[in-house]
Structure 1
């Protein structure tokens, strides 16, 4: 008889052991898969070790539980490699996630047989941050892949970019030499991995929304370390954290972006109003659109907002029509007629004829224009100038599936003058499309969220607009003195990053700390508030008892959207000044709370 130690491939609470013991009549190899019983339910589990029961008699006598027999053997052959076990342990420790769930994520597929893995000697090779425009990325990546003494892996943020990389590289390199995929590909079993390339590392799609809530560039760094592979980040923008790492010598920086910058013009929309042009299109943008179309070229109108407008307001009582399930204003959308939609939940309702508060008929759409309103305005402008060209709009509401999105992209690829109005979803096609003119309608909408890194995100999105190779970029704003816009137009990214780093260091934000967002949701607002307030006091008391002065616990605050899908949200932010995940503190967080290490947003 043998004692078999296993890790259940399921989410177990942090306050219970993650490693369980069972018995079987024969030994099992590490990485083999079994079925176990936990209470009344059956779960898959990965074998960690086997040892004769005679060696464990003294321990078993002292234990207060009875050893159970495994339910059955699912696979006697190992399906999980040592590297995958190590990745799971890293995920669990870094993101404070259940070990079993991390192993289930890392194992990826239990159908793959574990083969011999060649791990290179870890020579502490510096990660390379390579700044390159889309036009050079494939060529540069090809050279590094060719030079790699083993397998190469390219990780991209979405399927659209994956299809492009596959089309460009698959004829040059077979599947044994080059593996292509999205973030989950990092969990694959590699025979001889020597190079990892992460394309566009600042992309928010690299942050997992499901537990374990890992950040792909950090995971890639750990996978590269385990395999002894070189890690290269290819991006059109550096980013604050990566800029800090290059300054500290942790990353090597190489700039291959030698392209000349286009003409970048900032338009003060307040001056447009003063000169009797209250339109959402500035005079300069209108003139530029006509010139581009006259030259048989294409234009992109970039809008950070989808829908028609952001708000519906009563002019009599000032009521903003809100979602019944969320504490967020309903957005105005236009299909065959105007409707109101919530962007936080599936709620949709007819456009009201009267105010629900005062019964007034004086209802007015307000707020920044979305893609649908911009489309109407551009179409009207072209009609008045007797210009007949295709005008297309693309956001998640208009292109509801891949087929509709592909039809829009194929139309815009045709060599004829046209205009595309799009949101951030257009960035997935920056390898395939070029626009002679790009205009941003609501540039201020990129910068108005009260988050600590919103300026960096705005700078990054503006930089990605240049990936489309425009001859001219027009930024419409009501605040032309904004530091992000001034540094972007002058191409002074060093000054921008240095100032942002100085501010972050003063307030203890990354890269000078690690942030953990704790979130509690409840149908009852008072219960949500009380639970959050109680936990703040509990955590601060624990820090005093542990004499820990490296953790800062914020007060509890409601989310930016306090009520979402009927649930009230309250947040607590932990700052770990030693940049470690404070597991000794997080163990005091009750069940039912969400723990997000390195969150996308603090709001």
Structure 2
């Protein structure tokens, strides 16, 4: 007998409440995860609807209490069914619980205050109303007279306007309702988060290459071909215009589109470009929206009020019934990988969701991830390439400055001589400058020059970062938010020689103002963009030329198009190059190329200065030459040699606990269980080839995580490498069962991560 766990109502508070029912033999083939079913509910056996979220052969309660499903509803692939299937796939492929996966994908109902628009409508005919007006005038009911005169003039009046503008009280309105003179109609209003709506514009004329790519996609779409496409276009080559052509074609087929962008910072600028083309059939989804606004966008999408949803990773689960295309712009971005369980990658989930609904997927980037480019090279994705900037604009001239040579010249400033010279020139020419440093705050860390003591967070195994403020100087932990005053003496030895080391964006901003006192400076990082429209205000101000220099972290270098920016300075290319991460060279190449791409987008005098202590490194030299192919060939050779993704696969087991000894013991036990799994599997193999497959499993650790403690939680990590993703997925399933089996994991939290985007 097969048993189905069913949820009756899809809401956050009800996802944990499932009811188990037996599946009759004649319904077993039709009863799949996501199916809409009818079943008897409660003591009265009232027939209601629900969704199957899991199936098993083991009853969870006494079988005498389990009722049978009445019916599987035919042809009921409603949006909830589709998304439940998607959640089940995410849970199976990435770990975590089904409940966690459901909460990610479902357009859940939440307790949010609905916005209503109320109107007052006159129910009386003209003669009756005039007679009533004479009666009220005779009795001198001033407020009622005002309301009735207003209704005789307009017939329908906005409720809030009647109260706020004409001074009519709620009791007056209620009296009219009770006497059947008027009725008050309330309609739900779904909030539209897009502001500054502009006139719809006609499509731009595409270049020959852009048009060829768009035509090829559209022809294949018309032929019913659904693929994953990779659009590799250099910065400024007009990828967005190609997206628009693709979107317009898909919309003409009566389909809907999801456009993913990597950062909230991109939302405003991107949405305005699309709004000018497609009008109010667009909405956005991001974490800056209120809970009510997010729910409203889900409802607008579900009801078919919009056709295009734009947003970061979470927008992938927009409940479109007729989804025809998913576009992932800047597909290389790490933010497309979830950092919370289940740790899914939006690219893989998008491709699976598209396969369920018969949709196409387009990935776009100037610096594609190695995973996407390798698949395109292998023929798994179809590759399109745009190698020239639109309007004949040239790529910027790139200077690589060796900071070791600057030091020899006694230049201890964060600005090289070349960068100073070019900043001065641009300020004189009234052109704009972007300065990029991938570290926020005032300084990297604070240390005593006498004894070497470093100021560290008491709750995390990291140094505190110095932040300079108007009211006080403070040390801040970027992991848990802990703050303390900047000490005047070393707390360890009492020496007054305690000072900051390293440089952050806040310190760069101060130095820019000191070096170039007439320049108007804006700073954009996590500290300056905390408000709901923090990103939008800073970007709009810079776009409107209210500042000469924009200083910021990586959020300023991704996808923005500022026509007056003719100089980009990358102050310390090495910050990302020597991170403890096998993707360090790739991330450095991407950041440098994307940053350089902000210069000279509408001018021919774009220049870029890359400051580095390692100018010979291939990620720096290839970025300076804008040579992705050369970088890819060097990096893929390294990954092949080291058996790193995308050549091989990595499974990470991340264990945390408040008890250091307990989590260390659990991690050791986990490794022993993996070794036992490997031995058991080997004994079951029939062929030498299968035995070699089990031998290919490489186990690293367990070891303490790079940051061994965060917020008083101890962290350990175990790495497993294998060429075959399915092998690691099965290993993950085994480990999940082992966690449930062993009592030693009580008090420990275990998370799984496939092919992590960041090191642990």
TM-score category (smaller protein): 0.7 to 0.9
**Equivalences for residues 115-130 of structure 1 within 5 A:** 123=225, 125-130=227-232
CA-CA distance at 1:155 after TM superposition? 2.0
CA contact under 8 A between 1:236 and 1:467: conserved in structure 2? no
Which 10-residue stretch deviates more, 576-585 or 530-539? 576-585
Q: How does 1:287-436 map to 2 (within 5 A)?
A: 287-336=421-470, 337-367=472-502, 369-383=503-517, 388-415=518-545, 418-427=548-557, 430-431=560-561, 434-436=564-566
Post-superposition offset of 1:4: 6.2
Decide which structure has the larger Cα Rg and report it. 2
| Distance in structure 2 (CA, Å) of the matches to 1:157 and 1:475 | 24
- 1:502 paired with 2:648, answer no
CA shift digits 1:297-327 (9 cap, x unpaired): 0111111111111121111111111111111
Q: Secondary structure at the match of 1:266?
A: strand
Would the aligned equivalents of 1:310 and 1:370 in 2 still touch at CA under 8 Å? yes
Q: Does 1:556 align with 2:680?
A: no
Any gaps of 5 or more consecutive residues in structure 2?
Answer: 13-17, 43-47, 111-220, 283-305, 601-605, 683-693, 740-744
TM-score (norm 2): 0.68
- In 1, the alpha carbon distance for the partners of 2:454 and 2:536 equals 36
CA change 1:283–1:49 in 2 (3 A) is: closer
Cα distance in structure 2, aligned partners of 1:324 and 1:10: 39
Selected match of 1:246 from 355, 369, 376: 376
User: Aligned with 1:594: secondary structure?
Assistant: strand
Q: 1:264 to 1:19 in 2, by over 3 A?
A: farther
Inter-partner Cα distance in structure 1 for 2:232 and 2:365: 6
* Map 1:95-244 → 2, pairs under 5 A: 95-109=94-108, 123=225, 125-133=227-235, 136-148=238-250, 149-151=253-255, 152-173=257-278, 174=281, 177-244=307-374
Q: Cα distance 1:555–1:166, how it changes in 2: closer, same or farther (>3 A)?
A: same
Contact 2:654 2:752 in 1 (8 A): yes
1:264 alignment partner, SS class = strand
Pick closer, same or farther for the CA change 1:395–1:433 going to 2, 3 Å: farther
Residues 180 and 460 (structure 1 numbering): CA distance in 2 closer, same or farther, change over 3 Å?
same
- Structure 1 match to 2:595: 465
Q: 1:411 to 1:34 in 2, by over 3 A?
A: farther
Give yes or no for contact 1:265–1:473 (8 Å, CA) kept in 2: yes
CA-CA distance at 1:433 after TM superposition: 6.4
Q: CA RMSD in A?
A: 3.6
Normalising by structure 1, report the TM-score: 0.85
* Equivalent in the alignment of 1:262: 396
The CA distance in 2 between the partners of 1:4 and 1:545, in whole Å, is 31
The corresponding residue for 2:65 is 67
How many residue pairs get aligned? The number is 566
Partner Cα separation in structure 1 for residue 593 and residue 370 of structure 2: 14
**Secondary structure of the structure 2 residue equivalent to 1:356:** coil
**Deviation, structure 1 residue 231:** 1.3
TM-superposition CA deviations, 1:257-314 (whole Å, max 9, x none): 4023211111111111111211111111111100000100011111111111112111
**d(CA) in 1 for partners of 2:397, 2:102:** 50
CA-to-partner distance for each residue in 1:335-387, whole Å, 9 max, x for gaps? 124211111111111111111111111112112x111211221111123xxxx
CA distance in 2, matches of 1:257, 1:158: 25
Contact 1:266/1:474 (8 A) holds in 2: yes
Q: Is the 8 A contact 1:298 1:418 kept in 2?
A: yes
Contact 1:543 1:585 (8 Å CA) reproduced? no
- Comparing 350-359 with 527-536, greater Cα deviation is found at 527-536
Equivalent position of 2:583 in the other structure? 453
Which of the two has greater helix per residue?
Answer: 2
Structure 1 residues without counterparts, runs of 5 or longer: 12-17, 38-43, 52-58, 112-118
Q: Which has the higher contact order (CA 8 A, sep 6+)?
A: 1
For residue 115 of structure 1, what is the aligned residue in structure 2? none
